[in-house]
A and B are shown apart, each in its own frame.
Chain A
C-alpha cells in the first residue's frame, strides 16, 4: 500500500496509518496536529461536544511505544477518529446531545469502539448530533447547532452532523455515525464527504444508544471512498452481544474497490429523483453518464413502493422510540427532577430532559402503539415496510444497484426548517427506504449545486452489496476529483457566512 492510497484511490486515513505503522510518522505527531486543528476550528463549527485530548495523547504515546517495540498496532494505527455521541465510551460522557443524559458516563465501550481501539485508531472526541439522533440538521442538539464547514450559515445535515462536519473540516479523517433514516448519508451529502449506511446487522449495535432499533445502523464517514471502506472493514463483523448481528457480514470490501462497474446494471430510481431540486437532479444525471461511460448498463427504474417510505418510517421509528426512550425516567441515571412521588418525578424529569422534537416522536409513537390505533397505524406501516422490501427485491431482479440523490437539496440555512417538522422530515425522503429494507446505501460527493454547495449522489444495493456499492462509488469519486473535493480546514479560515 502506498502512502495515502489504497487500490490506487486516495486514502488519507490509510496513508496516516501506513506512516505510523512503518515509523515514518509518530502517532503523537499525527494526533497533536489534528487536536490543533480541532482547537482552532471547532469553536466556529461546533462539530465536537467533547474533545478527548488527554485520552488521545495517551493512546498515541502507547501506539508509538508499541511501534518502537516492533509491534504492529493495526490498520488504523494512529488515525484520529471521531465518534457520534450516541456511541458508548467507558468512563467518558455519552450524551446523545440531550440534557436527559447529563453527567452519565457509561461503564462500558460500544463494540465498535473496542474494534477501533484494537485496530490502533485514536478516539479524539464525541461529536454533536440531533438529540437522540432525531433530526436532519443537528439543530435539535442540547449543545446548539453544528455549522456546515462549507458554509457556516448552513446546517451540516443530521443527525450525524457533527461527525460529517468534523471530517469535512479536516478535524479528523474518519468518523463514525449512525443512520436510522439517513443520518449518515444526508449529512455526508450536505458536507461533501463519503458516508455509508451498511446492511442492517453487519455492524454491532451493542453500545449504540437506541433510537429505532430495527432501523439503526452504525457506519463510516470519511473524506474518500477507500477510507470509508477501511473504517467499515474494521468495525463490521458478527458480535454475540447483538442478537440482530449477522453471522456472516459479507466478503471483504477493500479488494473490490478497483473492480469498476463494467457490466453492472444500474437503475436510476425514478421515485428518488421526483422531488429533488433541479441542480441535484442534474448532478445525479451526470453521475449516471459517468457510470454508463465506465461500462455500466444504466436505465431508469421505478419502484413505486418507495413512496410509502416516509409515512411508514414516521410511524415505525417513533413507535420504537417511545419504548426505547422510556428508560430515561430519572430513576437510575441522567437527569432527575426531584418531586413528591415517583410518577411526578418521572414526568418532571422527562419534561425537562427531552427537547421538543424528541417529545413529539415519543408522543407520536405512544399514540400509534395504543390499543385501538395500533392496527390502523403501526401494523399498517409494517405492511408498507414489507411492500418496500418486495419492491426493491423486484428491482434488484433487473439491476445490481440503484442510483439517486441522497437528499432533495443542498445544505439549507440554519433555522430554515426548525419551525416546520414536515419540511425537515422531507430531507430524509431519499434515504429512508434503505433503512426500512435493511439494505446498504452510500452517499458520494458529486459536484456542486447552483449555490456552489456539495451535492451527494446515493448508491443503493441489496443486502450485503457493500463491495459493489463502494466499487461504483470509487468510479464516481475518480470522475468528480477536483469538481467538489474535500475542503480541509475551510472552517479554520472562517468559511462562508
Chain B
C-alpha cells in the first residue's frame, strides 16, 4: 500500500451449498452432467411451475450463520428482476431485506475480526457460453445456455468493509473457506466455482477519512487472485486520485492473465432490480428448537481446532514458524482429525503434524476420506522404528489411494519389515568386525572423523540389510558402541 493511503475492502462470497437437491426443486445438485439434462419445469422456469424451499439448504444456511456467530432470524424471499438468458425466469429468487443470517463476525488467525453483515440464501443461474472470436457476449457468433446449474442453492456472505489489506482479504477468504468446509456447507473448491468472490474496494487518506468511492471487482477465482486484484485496484484508484481524477463507481472485471481490472458497467448503467416479495413462497420462521438442533450438529470450528493442535504442541510459545504454517494448513484442509487421531494413539504430535501437513495434504480430498485409525497405526509403526520414514511415506500413499487398510499388512506386502532391534545390533557388530581400521578411527577419532565414518558405517549396515534398517536406529546403535 502506498504511504498516506488506507485500503477499505468488503467481500461478497457466493458459496454453493452441498445439498442433495437444488434449492427449489427435486433435481440433483450435481456438477458435470451433459448440458441441460439436470433440469425440470421448476429450474427451467416453465410457465405454471412453482418453487418449494429445500429444507436441507435452509439448515446449511443456518449452520453457516451459526459458524459465523450470526443472529438467525425469520426471513423472506424476494424476486430480483433482470433479463438474462441464463436466468430461467428472468428473475432470481433471493433474500433481500430480511435475510436468514445477520450481524455476525469471523475471527482471523492473526486475531483480527471481520464483521459479517449478512449471509443469505439465493438460487444460482444457468451458465452461458459465448461462442466465437471474443468469448464475450459482444461479438459472439452465438451463445449456448446450460441450465444444469440453474437453481443450485447459494449462500451469499457479505462482510462489513472491515478489511484493510490484501493480505487480510486473503486470510479472510482462506478462513471463511475453512469455516464453510467445517460446517458441512461447501466443498470449498474455488477453482470449480463452489466459492466465488466479489470485492468492493476503495481507498481513503486515513482511518478517520470518509470512505472513498468504491468499485466492485468480479471474477476472483482463487485466494491469490483476490490479493492481486485488490492490490491492483487500490493502486489504480490512488493513481487516479493523485492525478486529480475521480474514481467512478463501477463494476470491474479481474483479468487474471493481464493482471488488471477492466470496467464492466458504471453506476448509471446499473440495473433497477425491482425487488418485491416473492408471492410463490411463504416466510421462513425457524423455531428455536430447529436452530439449536442445527447448532448441535456443528462440529468444532477452525479457530478452536487450531487452538487444540497448538495446545498439544506445547502452546504458542513453543511453536516454530513452520509448525504454525502446518497447523493452519491441516485445519484449513480439514485434516486435523488425522493429526489428533495419531496423537491420541501415542504418536509424537510433531511427527503426526509432519505427516499430515507434508504428505497427507498433497491429496486433501483422499486424505479426508482416509480412516484416521489406519493413519494412526501407520504413524505408530514409524514412531516405534518398525518402519523407516521412507517406508512410512510409501505406505501412506497406498492408504490414501485405498481410503484405508492395515498399514502393517501393506508394509509386509512391500517387504518393508524393518529389522528387529536385536538383529540390527548383530549386523552392526558384524560391520565393526569386518572393518576394524575404520571402526577404530570411528571410536577414537575427532569430530571430523566421526562424522565421515558414521556415514561410511551406516552405508555398510544398509548394504548388509538390503536397505531395511532405519537410519535413525543405526545411528543410535553406532553411537552406543562409541560410548
Task: Identify the A interface with B (CB < 8 A).
Answer: 86-88, 94, 96, 101, 104, 106-108, 110, 205-210, 212-214, 240-244, 319-320, 322-323, 326-327, 329, 331-333, 342-343, 346, 366, 369-371, 374, 378
Contact across chains for B280 and A213 when beta carbons are under 8 A apart: yes
Which residues of B38-56 have CB atoms within 8 Å of chain A's CB atoms? 41, 44-53
Q: Cα distance A106–B45 when bound, in Å?
A: 12
Q: Does B177 contact A (CB under 8 A)?
A: no
- The CA-CA distance from A196 to B419 in the complex, in Å, is 91
Contact present for A206 and B49 (CB under 8 Å): yes
Cross-chain contact of B89 among A110, A240, A243, A326 (Cβ < 8 A): A326
From known contacts A88-B48, A332-B44, infer whether A243 and B137 are also in contact, taking CB-CB under 8 Å: no
**Contact mask for chain B residues 9-41; partner A; CB cutoff 8 A; 1 contact, 0 none:** 000000000000000000000000000000001
Q: Which residues of B contact A241 (CB under 8 A)?
A: 50, 52
| Closest CB pairs A-B (n = 6) | A326-B90, A214-B279, A369-B274, A213-B279, A209-B47, A207-B48
B interface residue numbers (CB < 8 A to A): 41, 44-53, 79, 81, 83, 85, 88-91, 137, 143, 145, 272, 274, 276, 279-282
Minimum C-beta distance from A391 to chain B (A): 22
CB distance from A312 to the nearest CB of B (A): 15
| Chain B residues whose CB sits within 8 angstroms of the CB of A87 once the complex forms | 48
User: Considering residues B45, B48, B49, B137, which has the most beta carbons from chain A within 10 angstroms of its beta carbon?
Assistant: B48
For the complex, what is the distance from the CA of A329 to the CA of B87, rounded to whole Å? 11
Residues from chain B with Cβ under 8 Å of A207 in the complex: 48-49
Residues of A within 8 A of B280 (CB): 210, 213, 243-244
Additional A-B contacts beyond A323-B91, A323-B276, A331-B85 (13; CB < 8 A): A88-B47, A108-B41, A110-B48, A206-B49, A243-B50, A243-B52, A244-B279, A326-B89, A327-B45, A332-B45, A343-B83, A369-B81, A371-B274
**Nearest CB of B to A182, in Å:** 19
Out of A96, A104, A212, A329, which one reaches B90, CB within 8 Å?
A329
- Which residues of the partner chain B approach A110 to less than 8 Å between Cβ atoms? 48
- Chain A's closest residue to B137 (CB) is A342
Please state if A107 and B48 are interface contacts (CB–CB under 8 Å). no
A205 and B281 alpha carbons, distance in the complex (Å): 12
A242 touches B50 (CB 8 A): yes
Q: Find chain A residues with CB under 8 A from B274 CB.
A: 322-323, 366, 369-371, 374
Does the CB pair A206–B90 fall under 8 Å? Answer: no
Cβ A210 vs Cβ B48 within 8 A: yes
A331:B282 contact, CB within 8 angstroms: no
Q: Are A206 and B50 in contact (CB under 8 A)?
A: yes
Which B residues are in CB contact (< 8 Å) with A94?
Answer: 47-48
Q: Which residue of B lies closest to A109 (CB)?
A: B48
- Once the chains are docked, how many angstroms separate the CA of A107 from the CA of B81? 26
Q: A87, A331, A346: which has the most chain B beta carbons within 10 Å?
A: A331
- CB atoms of A326 and B282 under 8 A apart: no
| 30 pairs, CB–CB < 8 Å, chain A vs chain B | A86-B48, A87-B48, A104-B47, A106-B41, A106-B47, A107-B46, A108-B41, A206-B48, A210-B48, A213-B280, A244-B279, A244-B281, A244-B282, A320-B276, A320-B279, A323-B91, A323-B276, A326-B89, A327-B88, A327-B90, A329-B90, A332-B44, A332-B88, A342-B143, A343-B83, A369-B81, A369-B274, A369-B276, A374-B276, A378-B276
Are A209 and B48 in contact, CB atoms less than 8 angstroms apart?
yes
Among the interface residues A207, A243, A346, which one has the most CB atoms of the partner chain B within 10 A? A243
Q: Across the interface, which residues of B come within 8 angstroms of A106, CB to CB?
A: 41, 46-48
CA distance A210 to B90 in the complex (A): 14
> CA separation between A153 and B41, bound complex, in Å?
40
**What residues of chain A lie closer than 8 Å to B79, measured between beta carbons?**
323
Say yes or no: B81 contacts A323, CB within 8 Å. yes
Assembled-state Cα–Cα distance A331/B45 (Å) = 11
- Of the listed residues B50, B90, B137, the one surrounded by the most CB atoms of chain A closer than 10 A to its CB is B50
Pair A346/B279 contact, Cβ less than 8 Å: no
Min C-beta distance of B326 to chain A, whole Å: 48
| Chain A neighbourhood of B281, CB < 8 A | 243-244
Known: A210-B48, A243-B53. A327 touches B89 (CB 8 A): yes
The distance from the CB of A323 to the nearest CB of chain B, in whole angstroms, is: 5
A329 touches B46 (CB 8 A): no
Residues of chain B within 8 A (CB-CB) of A371 are 272, 274
How many angstroms from the CA of A92 to the CA of B50 in the assembled complex? 20
Q: Is there an interface contact between A243 and B51, defined as CB atoms closer than 8 Å?
A: yes
Q: A108-B41, A327-B88, A371-B272 are in contact. Are A205 and B50 (CB under 8 A)?
A: yes
Q: Contact at A243–B282, with CB atoms within 8 Å?
A: yes
Q: State the CA gap A447–B24 with chains docked (Å).
A: 48
Q: Which of A101, A326, A369 has the most chain B CB within a 10 Å cutoff?
A: A326
Residue from B41, B83, B91, B145 in contact with A346 in the complex, judged by beta carbons closer than 8 Å: B83
What is the CB-to-nearest-CB distance from A91 to chain B, in angstroms, rounded to a whole number? Answer: 13
The CA-CA distance from A241 to B89 in the complex, in Å, is 17
Closest chain A CB from B94 CB (angstroms): 13
CB distance from A389 to the nearest CB of B (A): 15
Q: Nearest CB to that of A372 among chain B residues?
A: B272
Q: Is the CB of A326 within 8 A of B81?
A: yes
Chain B residues with Cβ below 8 Å from A333 are 46-47
Question: In whole angstroms, what is the CA distance A332 to B44 when docked?
Answer: 8
Contacts of B272 in A (CB 8 A): 370-371
Determine the distance from Cα of A244 to Cα of B276 in the docked complex, in whole angstroms: 17
A213 contacts which chain B residues (CB < 8 A)?
Answer: 279-280
Q: Which residues of A contact B143 (CB under 8 A)?
A: 342
Please measure, in the bound complex, the distance between the C-alpha atom of A104 and the C-alpha atom of B47, giving whole angstroms: 10
CA distance A86 to B48 in the complex (A): 8
Contacts of A326 in B (CB 8 A): 81, 83, 89-91
Question: What residues of B have a CB within 8 angstroms of the CB of A242 in the complex?
Answer: 50, 52
Tell me, in angstroms, the Cα distance from A370 to B273 when the chains sit together: 8
- Report the separation of the CA atoms of residues A241 and B91 in the bound assembly, to the nearest whole angstrom: 20
A88 cross-chain contacts in B, Cβ below 8 A: 47-48
- Cα A87 to Cα B281 in complex, Å, equals 20
Q: Which residues of B contact A327 (CB under 8 A)?
A: 45, 47, 88-90
User: What is the CB-to-nearest-CB distance from B280 to chain A, in angstroms, rounded to a whole number?
Assistant: 5
Which residues on A sit within 8 Å (CB–CB) of B53? Answer: 243
Q: Considering only CB atoms, which chain B residue lies closest to A330 in the complex?
A: B85
Nearest to A96 among chain B residues (CB) is: B47
- Greatest chain B CB density within 10 A among A101, A210, A323 is at A323
Closest residue of chain A to B274 (Cβ to Cβ) is A369
Cα of A238 to Cα of B47 in the assembled complex, Å: 21
CB distance from B147 to the nearest CB of A (A): 8
A449 to B53, CA, bound (A): 50
Alpha-carbon distance A342/B281, docked complex (angstroms): 30
- Separation in Å of the B48 CB from the closest CB of chain A? 4
Distance in angstroms between the alpha carbons of A342 and B46 in the assembled complex: 19
Q: Which residues of chain B are within 8 angstroms of A107 by Cβ–Cβ distance? A: 41, 46
| Least CB separation from B53: chain A residue | A243
Please, which residue of chain A has its CB at the minimum distance from the CB of B41?
A: A108
Bound complex: CA of A8 vs CA of B321, how far in Å?
91
Q: A94 vs B41: C-alpha distance in the bound complex, in angstroms?
A: 14
Closest residue on chain A to residue B138 by CB atoms? A341
A156 to chain B, nearest CB (A): 24
A235 to chain B, nearest CB (A): 15
Cα distance, A207 to B51, chains bound together (Å): 12
> Cβ of B47: which chain A residues have Cβ within 8 Å of it?
88, 94, 96, 101, 104, 106, 209-210, 327, 333
Cα–Cα distance between A7 and B53 once the two chains are bound (Å) = 42
A327 to B89, CA, bound (A): 5
Instruction: Give A208 to B279 CA distance when docked, in angstroms.
Output: 14
* Residues on A with beta carbons closer than 8 Å to the beta carbon of B90: 326-327, 329
Distance between B23 CB and nearest chain A CB, rounded to angstroms:
12
What is the minimal beta-carbon distance from A134 to any residue of chain B, in angstroms? 15
Cα distance A474–B48 when bound, in Å?
A: 33
Distance between Cα atoms of A320 and B279 in the complex (Å): 8
Report the Cα distance A221→B81, complex, angstroms: 35
Of the listed residues A209, A212, A214, A342, the one surrounded by the most CB atoms of chain B closer than 10 A to its CB is A342
Query: How many Å lie between the Cα of A228 and that of B281 in the bound state?
Result: 29
* B108 vs chain A, min Cβ distance (A): 36
Residues of A within 8 A of B51 (CB): 243
